[in-house]
Structure 1
Amino acid sequence: MLKSILINLQKKSLKERFLLVLGILFFLVYLVLGLFIIFMKEFPIAMDTNYRIAFGIILIVYAFFRFTRLINDNN
């Protein structure tokens, strides 16, 4: 799968490559943000632990949803 992404990356225009990199960057941002929200002990927003974990899981699921759309759009 990664090999096909790299081959398709060479065929893309500069704009398409930029958007691919931006998509991967935002996938990582949502993933890391979800993990921070779940595992951060001193969370700056007053939020119940169960809601904080649920919000973190939603962000992680959304990150993988964006990643699958990014992969499918590149093929």
Structure 2
Amino acid sequence: MFNLNYFKQKSPQQRFLFILGLTMFLFYLVLGSILIFWKNLIPLEMEAKYRIIFGVGLIVYALIRFYRLINQKDTIER
């Protein structure tokens, strides 16, 4: 699944995109958690059930992004 030696062989651009992908994963994960657990969202007035559904959807999307990020292969032919 995740090979640390493969990560060491990446170019600086690929490493930057990997770190950016991890940052976006964390962003969606935190945003989904905030929507679920923060009760008083002032700018976003939604019913609790819709807020929870949207939060769970964001967390599932974050997990899908993380899975695709970890399992991506080198696309450059050598």
Q: What's the TM-score once normalised by structure 2's chain length?
A: 0.87
* Offset from partner CA, 1:8-35 (integer Å, 9 cap, x none): 1110000000000000111011001000
- 2:16 alignment partner in structure 1: 18
Give the whole-Å Cα distance in 1 for the aligned partners of 2:46 and 2:11.
44
Match of residue 47 from structure 1: 46
Partner SS state of residue 72, structure 2 = helix
Consecutive unaligned residues in structure 1, runs of 5 or more = none
Deviating above 2 A after TM superposition, structure 1's stretches of 4 or more consecutive aligned residues are: none
Greater Rg over alpha carbons, structure: 2
What is the CA–CA distance in structure 2 between the aligned matches of 1:62 and 1:26, rounded to whole Å?
11
Number of equivalent positions: 73
Residue 64 of structure 1 aligns with which residue? 63
TM-align CA RMSD: 1.3
**Equivalent pair of 1:37/1:53 in contact (CA under 8 Å):** yes
Structure 2 runs not aligned, ≥5 long: none
Aligned identity (percent) is 49
* Correspondent of 1:35 among 29, 33, 49: 33
Report if aligned partners of 1:8, 1:74 keep a CA contact under 8 Å in 2: no
Letter in 2 for 1:73: Q
Shift of 1:74: 4.2
TM-score normalised by the chain length of structure 1:
0.90
